[in-house]
Amino acid sequence: MAADCRPGPVAVLGAGVMGTAIATTVLGSGLPVVLLDVGQAELDRAERTIETQLRHARMMDALPSGRTPGRLVTTTSLSALAGARAVVEAVVEHQATKVGVLVDAAGVIDADTPLISNTSGIPIDALADSLPRPQQLIGTHFMNPAYLIDLVEVIRGPRTDEATVTAVTELLAALNRRAVVVRDSPGFVTSRLLHPMLNDAARLVDEDVATAQDVDRLMVGCLGHRTGPLRTADLIGLDNLVDSLAALYERTGEQRYRPCEQLLAKVRDGDLGRKSGRGFHDYRETLS
Amino acid sequence: MTTHQGPGTDSAIEETLKSYLVDRLKTEVTFDQDLFESGLVSSMFAMELVVHLEKTFEVSIVGNDLRLANFRSIRSMAALVRGLRDGDGRG
Ligand SMILES: NC(=O)c1ccc[n+]([C@@H]2O[C@H](COP(=O)([O-])OP(=O)(O)OC[C@H]3O[C@@H](n4cnc5c(N)ncnc54)[C@H](O)[C@@H]3O)[C@@H](O)[C@H]2O)c1
């Protein structure tokens, strides 16, 4: 059955930076969402953030016209996933945590419901290993802010079946999203290219070659980047950037993925970027 | 830079916005400068501007007012705030 013909909500697992932005995207397209996290505090904050993001999306003309926003339900209970038309996993970038959540979700949803991971770079096939039906799993790498960016990197694992690809393509179409499908590999295309660059940008600041402001100014003014690498790192969340780099380093052994000291120090100090109010830049009035 | 002030319009709102922007963007801005075109304001910062305006001037920006065009320059933001404060039936 086609995903967008299912009556149920889209379930989003993890109400962090990406979970909320993906929920906003789905709600703004008129579909209902069940948003799950481990803590009520995260869910309360996500509800406020989603409200602001829906306004933001509307302001940027990023919502399909003529659709009433879908209904949002937040929950800490897995049983609320029953009947979902699709599940999008967006919990922290740790393989064991992701596998745990995906296995739990697979136990609650139908056999033909697509199970989608929004991992930044953990191979889909590695996540599929412990699943009862590995063919059900696929990767969609939504970019941040997901509610403003309409292109999605889709990762088809070696065991992902055709029905899952079709269901996800239809879901993305219902969200007004375009997809580029790539083969499974650590970091896929976008993280493999972007993350080492962000790591290097942090190193430049650490080595006093330039300030964060100037690194970004050069990349924007000379090379046409939209916001510069360090503002991008701040938007991603430096904790997630470190985790994503570590996951790639662990799988490839390549030094360029090894999270640099500057990034590790910021995470230790709680300077996580936009989400904590400060990273390489200062954000006093953020989206939450 | 043009500073045409119509009769009876004081530019206190403009000045407040300007000092906020200069502080945040770490660069000089003029009242009429197109903040998006000059690449100074990203789509993320645009939403921060909305939140900042609402907090600072105790207005709520909804419906039709929530348009990028209203946040293009200090002048257009100030006009929006004035309109909302005067309750001229926007929205
Ligand atoms: N931040 C980005 O820009 C970005 C972009 C693309 C992909 N991703 C990927 O998306 C995923 C989420 O990243 P994020 O930046 O939103 O992280 P985040 O740290 O902002 O949020 C993660 C959320 O997951 C929740 N969580 C942790 N364990 C859980 C569990 N067992 N069950 C339910 N919820 C749980 C946490 O409470 C938190 O709210 C990661 O895999 C990340 O690599 C992130």
Domain around A225: 190-276
User: Is the pTM higher than 0.80?
Assistant: yes
Instruction: Assess if residue B4 is contained within a domain.
Output: no
CA of A227 to the centre of ligand 1 (A): 22
Domain around B80: 10-86
Paired tokens of A242: 């470190």
Instruction: Assess if residue A71 is contained within a domain.
Output: yes
pLDDT in tens, A253-280: 999 999 999 999 999 999 999 999 999 9
> A257 to chain B nearest CA, in Å?
27
Instruction: Assess if residue A41 is contained within a domain.
Output: yes
Whether residue A146 is found in the same domain as residue A178: yes
Instruction: Assess if residue B49 is contained within a domain.
Output: yes
| pLDDT confidence of residue B23 | 87
**Number of domains into which chain A is organized:** 2
| pLDDT confidence of residue B86 | 86
Burial of A176 (0-12, 13-18, 19+ CB in 10 A): middle
Instruction: Assess if residue A288 is contained within a domain.
Output: no
Average pLDDT over residues A211-235: 94
Distance CA A10, CA A18 (A): 14
| pLDDT confidence of residue A287 | 41
| pLDDT confidence of residue B43 | 83
Is B11's pLDDT higher than 70?
Answer: yes
Burial of B6 (0-12, 13-18, 19+ CB in 10 A): exposed
Distance CA A234, CA A217 (A): 15
Q: Mark which of A162, A183, A204 sits at the end of a domain.
A: A183
Q: Mark which of A125, A160, A183 sits at the end of a domain.
A: A183
> What are the backbone angles phi and psi of residue A101, rounded to the nearest 5°?
-65, -40
Ligand 1 — pocket residues by CB below 6 A?
Answer: A 13-19, 36-39, 42, 90-93, 97, 101, 118-120, 141, 144, 236-237, 240, 244
Tell me which DSSP letter residue A207 carries. T
